[in-house]
Amino acid sequence: MKTAAKAQPWWTHAVIYEIYPRSFQDSNGDGIGDLNGVTQRLDYLKELGVDAIWLTPFFPSPNADFGYDVSDYTAVAREYGTMADWDRLTREARKRGIRVMVDLVLNHSSDQHPWFKEARSSRNNPKRDWYVWHDPAPNGGPPTNWESIFGGSTWEYDKPTGQYYYHVFLKEQPDLNWASPGLQKAMHDVARFWLRHGASGFRLDATPYLFEDTNWPQDPDVKSGASVGLKPYNSNLPATRAALRGLRKVVDSFHGDRVLLGENAISSIADLRRVYGAKGDEINLPMDFLYKDVASLNASTFKARIDEAELKLDGFPPVFHFSNHDTPRQWSRFGDGLHNDQIARITSAMTLTLRGTALMYYGEEIGMPDLAPEELRDIPLGAKRKVADNRDPERSPMQWSAGKVAGFTSGDPWLPVGRSAAKVNVANAQADQGSLYHWYARLLQLRKTNAALRDGAYVPLESGNDQVVAYARRDTGGKGVLVLLNMSNQAQTLAIEGFKPGGVLAPGAVLMSSLPGAAADLRHPVLEPFGVRLVAFKGG
Ligand code: GLC
């Protein structure tokens, strides 16, 4: 008897759409996006064709780092709504086949979290070891010379108890001590809380930093200014692996293929491979920052990044994306000011036709740009804003329609709406069949329905032209899709080596093209400047 192959979990080829809830849709006129706003826009997301949404933190927080300083892990901040709103959001999303993922900030809490208040109340408090404390150096100064990612020392002196506490980010974000069994259990309980409340999984914040080298070495480089970020003493310590496996077990104990999506800064493909776990038992979906951080539209660099993700991750699904709430939008990063729309078609076609899972950032589907420096305005949150300042450009309100507030709010938006909203908005994009929005929607549809794009192998190709990225996806039945991406502003002619398909798959061999009516030439294609082709073929 034939046994049915085990279905792949939903997340192996999903598109997860990141929403910064503060900026997506305001439902009550206070100028701040909220959970009910997201619920209102679920039909939009369904029509676009995404599988899941990941919401950045919406928990109570003093907002020193806009929600990434959590003061209560199991509640909804008043500005975003209530638990009842959350439950409704997940219910309504489920009806539309959309899963909802929560951002779990594991590495640190807010200094206003009751855990930290207890921990700092005395050296003998039972929660003292939920955070990382150290006696002063012999001269009374900080125990080490380490610098925090957001600038300044990683140590903050706590006068009443005479010790320093450690924070790899802001001093308002004391690091949690994952070596403490009590803390680990508390964080597992947080995960269980959201899983019981319908979360389909978590985006894990800043996972490399869970443990520190407790020999507390000095940093020899600190004066060179090269000290911020991944360091052997502050990141990827061996104990991190076991802690993530522990969390994975909790998540796997729930039915329904719940998933962990990791924000795991890495410096090599070997690092990325490790994050999946030796037996695939750590993070299901570690983000590929090597691909995300490619600085310019360069075909050779992209080809190298894609090939290594395909060849060196032992078949685990890579996680491709470009933008998020910490990174300038790809429209602004890759755009040359003249061909931005075409370039956006290249980056989206590439990310969405590869194997694995793709992330999108709200607004990329309409080509939303970053706010220009002159569009920013100072918001009176005082000292609390220092870090968030330079990430405001990519966090501006979603542009739903033309007009001053772009349909985002009926009030005064917390961050300015981009001036581009007059032209770049959902209403305009939906009305124009040739828009980037419809390009994305077609890509998302094709990604789901074309067997080669959905489940097929990745076939690296040599395009014979270093301006063009070429690869194919091929299913086991011998049907495939050839993907050609011209990353230059010149027309390019190709001779694809070692690729001998039986022919194009008629009718409709050209599945998508940036040039309407382009021919389906497999052997010697010609691509216009910044041209994209997806061509269906058979055999070979
Ligand atoms: C992650 C988040 C970022 C936050 C930082 C500290 O990198 O994406 O927004 O500031 O962690 O929590």
Query: Phi and psi of 512, rounded to 5°?
Result: -150, 145
C-alpha 204 – ligand 1 centre gap (Å)? 10
Interatomic CA distance for residues 32 and 21, integer angstroms: 8
Q: Single out the residue of 257, 242, 320 nearest to residue 11, CA to CA.
A: 257
Q: What are the residues whose beta carbons fall under 8 Å from the beta carbon of 238, sequence distance 6 or more? A: none
**DSSP string of 122-172?**
-TT-TTGGGB-EEPPPTTSS-SS--B-TTSSBSEEEEGGGTEEEE-SS-TT
Interatomic CA distance for residues 115 and 104, integer angstroms: 16
CA atoms within 13 A on the CB side of 318: 27
Report pLDDT for 228: 72
E-assigned strand segments in 35-125: 52-55, 99-105
Find tokens 């709103």 and name the residue: 85
Ligand 1 atom with the smallest distance to the CA of 388 is: 10
Q: Which of 22, 58, 65, 264 to mutate to test the pocket of ligand 1 (most atoms within 8 A of CB)?
A: 65
User: How far from the centroid of its chain's Cα atoms is residue 263's Cα?
Assistant: 7
Burial class (CB in 10 A: 0-12, 13-18, 19+), 66: buried
Query: Phi and psi of 464, rounded to 5°?
Result: 65, 15
User: Taking CB atoms and a 6 Å cutoff, what residues make up the pocket around ligand 1?
Assistant: 65, 68, 105, 169, 205-206, 263, 325-326
Q: Are 283 and 262 in contact (CB under 8 A)?
A: yes
Interatomic CA distance for residues 244 and 317, integer angstroms: 18
Distances (CA, A) of 479 to 14, 405, 482, 534: 21, 47, 10, 13
Q: Single out the residue of 121, 133, 231, 235 nearest to residue 174, CA to CA.
A: 133
Which residue's alpha carbon is nearest to atom 12 within ligand 1?
68
Q: Which of 61, 205, 289, 387 to mutate to test the pocket of ligand 1 (most atoms within 8 A of CB)?
A: 205
- 3-state class (DSSP) for residue 535: strand
Which residue's alpha carbon is nearest to atom 2 within ligand 1?
205
Interatomic CA distance for residues 540 and 527, integer angstroms: 22
CA angle 289, 292, 297 (to 5 degrees): 145
Interatomic CA distance for residues 352 and 15, integer angstroms: 8
Query: Phi and psi of 387, rounded to 5°?
Result: -80, -40
Structure tokens at 334: 């890759």
C-alpha 515 – ligand 1 centre gap (Å)? 40
Which residue's alpha carbon is nearest to atom 7 within ligand 1?
206
pTM: 0.96
C-alpha 266 – ligand 1 centre gap (Å)? 15
Question: Per-block average pLDDT, block size 10, for the chain (540 residues)?
Answer: 66 97 98 98 98 98 95 98 98 98 98 98 98 97 94 95 97 98 98 98 97 95 69 95 98 98 94 97 98 96 96 96 96 96 98 98 98 73 49 95 95 95 98 98 97 95 93 93 97 88 86 92 90 92
Does residue 205 carry a catalytic annotation? Answer: yes
One-letter amino acid for residue 433 of the chain: Q
Report pLDDT for 499: 85
Ligand 1 atom with the smallest distance to the CA of 387 is: 10
Report pLDDT for 259: 98
Question: First vs last Cα of the chain: how many Å apart?
Answer: 32
Which residue's alpha carbon is nearest to atom 9 within ligand 1?
326
C-alpha 538 – ligand 1 centre gap (Å)? 45
CA atoms within 13 A on the CB side of 97: 11
| Peptide bond between residue 142 and the one before it cis (omega within 30 degrees of 0) | no
Burial class (CB in 10 A: 0-12, 13-18, 19+), 440: buried
**Other beta carbons within 10 Å of 390:** 12
Ligand 1 atom with the smallest distance to the CA of 324 is: 8
C-alpha 68 – ligand 1 centre gap (Å)? 6
Structure tokens at 522: 């497999």
Distances (CA, A) of 249 to 38, 200, 213, 242, 279: 30, 15, 25, 11, 13
Which residue's alpha carbon is nearest to atom 6 within ligand 1?
68
Ligand 1 atom with the smallest distance to the CA of 325 is: 9
Interatomic CA distance for residues 493 and 1, integer angstroms: 51
Which residue's alpha carbon is nearest to atom 4 within ligand 1?
68
Structure tokens at 323: 């933008």
C-alpha 322 – ligand 1 centre gap (Å)? 16
Query: Phi and psi of 312, rounded to 5°?
Result: -115, 15
Please list the residues that pair with 105 across neighbouring strands: 205
Q: Are 131 and 174 in contact (CB under 8 A)?
A: yes
Ligand 1 atom with the smallest distance to the CA of 169 is: 6
- Which residue in 103, 147, 205, 219 is the catalytic one? 205
Ligand 1 atom with the smallest distance to the CA of 68 is: 12
Q: Single out the residue of 263, 278, 350, 261 nearest to residue 314, CA to CA.
A: 278
Report the phi/psi class of residue 105: left, alpha or beta, with left for phi > 0 and alpha for psi in -120 to 50: beta
Ligand 1 atom with the smallest distance to the CA of 105 is: 12
Please list the residues that pair with 536 across neighbouring strands: 481
C-alpha 23 – ligand 1 centre gap (Å)? 17
Find tokens 């894990």 and name the residue: 204
Q: Which of 326, 387, 390 to mutate to test the pocket of ligand 1 (most atoms within 8 A of CB)?
A: 326
- Which residue in 103, 172, 263, 310 is the catalytic one? 263
C-alpha 182 – ligand 1 centre gap (Å)? 24
Q: Are strands 357-361 and 15-19 parallel, antiparallel or unpaired?
A: parallel
E-assigned strand segments in 357-467: 357-361, 457-460
C-alpha 263 – ligand 1 centre gap (Å)? 9
